[in-house]
Structure 1
Amino acid sequence: MHIVPLVLAVIVAVEHYYILYLEMFQTASPAAQRSFGLDKEFLDDPRVQTLFKNQGLYNGFLATGILWGAFFAANSWSVVTFFIICVVVAAVYGGLTSSKSILIKQGLPAIITLVMLFIFR
């Protein structure tokens, strides 16, 4: 894989590991409150924490899939492209159903990566 989409894919993966960290281990932290635009009382609810931890796990799967594809898969372009498309779809869905800022924060880096994957194929 060309260095440009590779570096961008790693950035997307790191972003999703950070989201995993916030959702699974720092659910009610000030950083999570700012990132998700939710108040501490809501984030302290054990039911919300369970949902966030589950969501964090999925973000970790996306990040791991991207890195596995980039560094270990036989057909790295196909694997990375698949997982980046998953990130784009999740960002579009999140932008439509939760917060439009998700389209920028998560979607834009993934879309740029996807474009670069095709340009440097």
Structure 2
Amino acid sequence: MQTAAHVLVALVALIHTYFLVLEMFLWDTPRGRKAFSTTAEFSAQSATLAANQGLYNGFMAAGLVWSLIAGDPVAHQAQIFFLSCLIIAGVYGAATVSRKILYAQAAPAALALVLVLASG
């Protein structure tokens, strides 16, 4: 069970690394605009804000990676903390921005958290 939890935690970290790339480096490109359903005008005007969001996603990914290499009890506690943060942010994003955030961010983090809690 612990191996499955670690695999899912790593997958969530990879997802958020991808979000970092999209938001910090690809936001104002056709790929970034397609991913977030934005116009060229909006993406140009909001690039700084998106880069800030991307940095947040990078910190979340870094925290999850740290939780995978840290020793216990820190590893387990860090996984619970960072996954919980992602779930809360995902639910808030789904309520205020787009329901897709629930599936792209909150659901994978929630599944990983269930496995982390079950393995702990």
TM over 0.5: yes
1:24-80 Cα shifts (integer Å, max 9, x gaps): 1111122211221211221022xx111011111111000000100111244211111
1:52 to 31, 50, 53: 50
Q: Provide structure 1 residue ranges, at least 5 long, that are not aligned to the other structure.
A: none
SS of equivalent residue, structure 1 residue 23: helix
* Rounded Cα–Cα distance in structure 1 between residues aligned with 2:32 and 2:26: 7
Instruction: State the AA in 1 paired with 2:19.
Output: I
* Rounded Cα–Cα distance in structure 1 between residues aligned with 2:86 and 2:66: 15
* Rounded Cα–Cα distance in structure 1 between residues aligned with 2:38 and 2:52: 17
Number of residue equivalences: 119
Report the equivalent of 2:86. Answer: 87
Where has structure 1 moved over 6 Å in runs of 4 or more? none
Report the equivalent of 2:76. Answer: 77
Report the equivalent of 1:34. Answer: 34
CA drift at 1:119: 1.4
Report the equivalent of 2:63. Answer: 65
* Rounded Cα–Cα distance in structure 2 between residues aligned with 1:103 and 1:31: 21
Report the equivalent of 2:5. Answer: 5
Q: Which moved more, 1:71-80 or 1:15-24?
A: 71-80
* Rounded Cα–Cα distance in structure 2 between residues aligned with 1:61 and 1:115: 22
Indicate if the aligned counterparts of 1:73 and 1:79 stay in contact, CA closer than 8 A. no
SS of equivalent residue, structure 2 residue 27: coil
Counterparts of 1:101-120 in structure 2 under 5 Å? 101-120=100-119
**CA RMSD across the alignment:** 1.3
Instruction: State the AA in 1 paired with 2:9.
Output: A
1:66-115 Cα shifts (integer Å, max 9, x gaps): 10011124421111110000110110010000001100111111110011
TM-score norm. by structure 1 comes to: 0.92
Q: Provide structure 2 residue ranges, at least 5 long, that are not aligned to the other structure.
A: none
1:7-27 Cα shifts (integer Å, max 9, x gaps): 000100011011011111111
